[in-house]
Amino acid sequence: MNFAPVLDLKNSKDRDAIGDRAYSNDADIVTKDGIAFMKQMQNINIIPVIKHFPGHGATKQDSHHILPIIQKSYLELEKKDMIPFVSAIKNGADAMLVGHLVIPKLTMTNPASLSRIFIGKYIRKKLRYNKVLITDDLKMRAIRLFYGEARATKKAFEAGNDIIVFRYNKQKEEKAIEKLLSLYDKNVGRVNRSVIRILKEKELYNINDDKVIPTIDIENINERIDKIRKQCKI
């Protein structure tokens, strides 16, 4: 699984949150290039994850540090920022990462990633997307300060995410995770729905616990990326 492609529109005022990970500020270019990248990963048996829905380009704030606020309606997002995501969904996106983006008109005070209303009403029902949903990292400073790890994880689960992402420190967080297990015991049906979505993806990509996957040489990949960036003058 690769947490890419980035389908956010490029924001000229953004220096850190998305930066040069964005293909363009043109929704058509982002759609074309992003879907091509997504399809190529699928062709070589890598699960792509489109991100950061509904689009970080609608704000210049960085969710690594503060909770970005998007003052747009669903219709406004649909006409621009969501175009690449909707197209990717129609083209068979296997998984989607939901951003830590507060949209007062849609999520009230919660970020989209932790909003049951947003995930249930807009992603599952309106877009009819029933594949794997993943949170952005819950250890980002904005989420950590506003909610704390345990509360953020609880809200992410209750919101309907299938996979919850956070950097894990065993000594610090093991007890907090154990407390959250009671949620799963009381919500077996909710857990099973996520398990089924994940198992369907694993089956589609022929992934199982017995299959040995060779270690990826990250340093070599980063060296190749740096060479490409220099050639493209990025």
The distance in angstroms from the start CA to the end CA of the chain is 25
Reported as a single tens digit per residue, the pLDDT across 33-49 is 999 999 999 999 999 99
Residue ranges of domains in the chain: 19-232
Q: Is 51 helix (H, G, I), strand (E, B) or coil?
A: strand
pLDDT of residue 232: 82
The continuous run of DSSP H or E covering 134 comes out as: strand 132-135
pLDDT the model gives residue 14: 56
Cα separation, 37 vs 86, in Å, equals 16
Cα 135 versus chain centre, distance? 5
**How far is it, in rounded angstroms, from Cα 111 to Cα 145?**
13
Determine the 3-state secondary structure of 95 from DSSP.
strand
Whole-angstrom CA distances from 11 to 26, 42, 215 are 10, 28, 35
CA-based nearest residue to 165, from 203, 143, 134, 186: 134
Q: What is the pLDDT of residues 196-231, one digit of tens each?
A: 999 999 999 998 888 777 778 888 988 998 888 888
| CA–CA gap between residue 146 and residue 30 (Å, rounded) | 32
Mean pLDDT by 10 residues, the chain (234 residues): 94 68 92 97 96 84 72 93 97 96 93 96 96 93 84 90 81 68 76 93 90 81 87 72
Helix 27-43 with 83-90: angle, nearest 10 deg: 30
| Whole-number pLDDT of residue 62 | 59
Angle, CA 3 vertex, CA 36 and CA 67 arms, to 5° = 115
Correct CATH for 19-232 of 3.40.470.10, 3.20.20.300, 1.10.240.10, 3.40.120.10: 3.20.20.300
What are the Cα distances from residue 233, in Å, to 25, 227, 228, 230?
18, 10, 8, 5
Cα–Cα distance for residue pair 103/60, rounded to 1 Å: 14
